[in-house]
Amino acid sequence: MVYIRQDKLPKLKEYKYQGVDHSLVSQYVLKPFYTHVVIKCFPMWMAPNLITTLGFSFVVINFLTMLWYTPTLDQDCPRWVYASWAVGLFLYQTFDAVDGSQARRTRQSGPLGELFDHGVDAVNTTLEVLLFAATMNLGQGWKTVLTLFASLLTFYVQTWDEYHTHTLTLGVISGPVEGILTLCIVYALTAYLGGGSFWQQSMLATMGIGKFNFIPDAVYNLAWNEWYMFYGGIVLVFNTVSSALNVMKARRARGQRTRVALLGLLTFGAAWTLIPMYLYLQPVILRQHLVPFIFYAGLVNAYSVGRMIISHLTKSRFPRGNVLIYPLIYGVADSLGPWLQQHVGFGWPSALGNDVYQVAFVFMCLGLAIGVHGSFIIDVIWTICDYLDIWCLTIKYPHQEGKEKQEGKKGQ
């Protein structure tokens, strides 16, 4: 499959990064730290995409330790594991932020950098959901699924916003800045407090607040992780509404209809109509094999986001639909028949059942998602590198400032 058509390739040379960061933490704390301290640690020969890859490797290591110590997402880990997750995520954030500075420093800024950066972020989002669920001892259940939904929606809407406004806008509170720092603090506190089981306790009771009559039992008994999810829900609604308003304002300014842009959210909505339906119909996947399914759901979102970025870079039509949803449609249809037979009185038999074949189906979906998304990444990287005459992880033509000055003098 061709992801970038030949007639769209010249648009890559018109690319110019545009971003707005309203975060006070970013402006007054992180950016000075990156500019005056961190960037000096990287040599001029190091490609920006290599820095991004090295940063992502820290998260991969974190994920592997999670699989070793708490594959079911509900067991306490040694303190050093949580501490390593905090350090690894902070390093990822730092490397991910510095790669842009390195690109400008080495004169390697271009569309490949944005694609590579967003592509890694899309995969990292899913990995951090699993790490957060393990830290909070959420286990394999609806709380973890809800956390995944909120995280993927935030990333999808942010990319959808950038496609229509042509500007990457980070609000006063954003996932790449405050969201990641919050996770780092949560991981570090979990290491200090001794394990994820701490977050299962009532927050108000742990803080020493008495049970007053005006506090409902449901509120008083809310655990730390449930309060955190409540806070995350507020931030999610705020960021989603803000992005929608940004998109509608930008399209109105260009004399375009706003409803057309809102249709772009239907792809995400379709996927997240099917995902909870399938998990409800197949509790064996929800309670015992959720980790591979989350990987699959995360790659479905990463594929949609990747195609959005390509359309943004090449100024193409918004990509609608997602081929990775089709297996999920079959899974829901296959599981719905027996449920209808049981509750309505008519239906159809399941070809997969609800045991080993259903588990095999989930792993098949995961393998298909890895193959399709992997082929997409390889194809677009190869196409962009070939057209722009660059390399992905190394600098093909190092910038030589002295040489440019000499050529300028000759021209005079």
- Say how many CA atoms lie within 13 Å of 315 toward its Cβ: 11
Q: What percent of the chain has pLDDT over 70?
A: 97
pLDDT tens readout for residues 108-119: 888 998 899 989
Question: Where does the pLDDT of residue 234 fall: very low under 50, low under 70, confident under 90, or very high at 90 and above?
Answer: confident
pLDDT tens readout for residues 305-350: 999 999 999 999 999 889 999 999 999 999 999 999 998 888 899 9
Mean pLDDT of the chain: 89
Rounded CA separation 92/86 (Å): 10
Q: Are 274 and 329 in contact (CB under 8 A)?
A: yes
């806008």: which residue's tokens? 169
Q: Look at residue 47 and tell me whether its pLDDT is greater than 70.
A: yes
The yes-or-no answer on residue 399 being catalytic is no
Question: Where does the pLDDT of residue 1 fall: very low under 50, low under 70, confident under 90, or very high at 90 and above?
Answer: low
Q: Are 63 and 130 in contact (CB under 8 A)?
A: yes
**Across 195-208, average pLDDT:** 87
What was the pLDDT predicted at 145?
A: 96
**Across 32-54, average pLDDT:** 91
Q: Look at residue 52 and tell me whether its pLDDT is greater than 90.
A: yes
Domain count, the chain: 1
Q: Name the DSSP class of 168.
A: E
- The residue segments making up the domain with residue 388 are 6-400
**Across 273-293, average pLDDT:** 95
Q: Look at residue 2 and tell me whether its pLDDT is greater than 80.
A: no
Domain membership of residue 406 (yes or no) is: no
**325: how many CB neighbours lie within 10 A of its CB?**
17
pLDDT tens readout for residues 76-104: 999 999 999 999 999 999 999 998 889 88
Give the amino acid at 284. Answer: V
Question: Where does the pLDDT of residue 397 fall: very low under 50, low under 70, confident under 90, or very high at 90 and above?
Answer: confident
Question: Where does the pLDDT of residue 211 fall: very low under 50, low under 70, confident under 90, or very high at 90 and above?
Answer: confident
**Across 381-389, average pLDDT:** 93
Per-residue b or e along 284-297, where b marks 16 or more CB atoms closer than 10 Å to that residue's CB: ebbeebbbebbbbb
**Across 367-383, average pLDDT:** 95
CATH number, position 246: 1.20.120.1760
What was the pLDDT predicted at 131?
A: 96
Q: Which of 22, 36, 118, 166 is catalytic?
A: 118
Domain membership of residue 407 (yes or no) is: no
Domain membership of residue 170 (yes or no) is: yes
What was the pLDDT predicted at 192?
A: 93
What was the pLDDT predicted at 17?
A: 81
Domain membership of residue 409 (yes or no) is: no
Q: Which of 2-11, 19-28, 120-129 has the lowest mean pLDDT?
A: 19-28
Rounded CA separation 246/253 (Å): 11
Rounded CA separation 94/168 (Å): 18
Q: Look at residue 410 and tell me whether its pLDDT is greater than 70.
A: no
Rounded CA separation 197/103 (Å): 43
**Across 252-266, average pLDDT:** 88
Q: Are 293 and 285 in contact (CB under 8 A)?
A: yes
Rounded CA separation 343/62 (Å): 44
Q: Look at residue 66 and tell me whether its pLDDT is greater than 60.
A: yes
pLDDT tens readout for residues 130-160: 999 999 999 999 999 999 999 999 999 999 9
**Across 20-27, average pLDDT:** 83
Rounded CA separation 230/189 (Å): 19
What was the pLDDT predicted at 260?
A: 86
**Across 1-17, average pLDDT:** 86
Which is nearest to 43 in space by CA: 392, 402, 395, 390? Answer: 395
Domain membership of residue 405 (yes or no) is: no
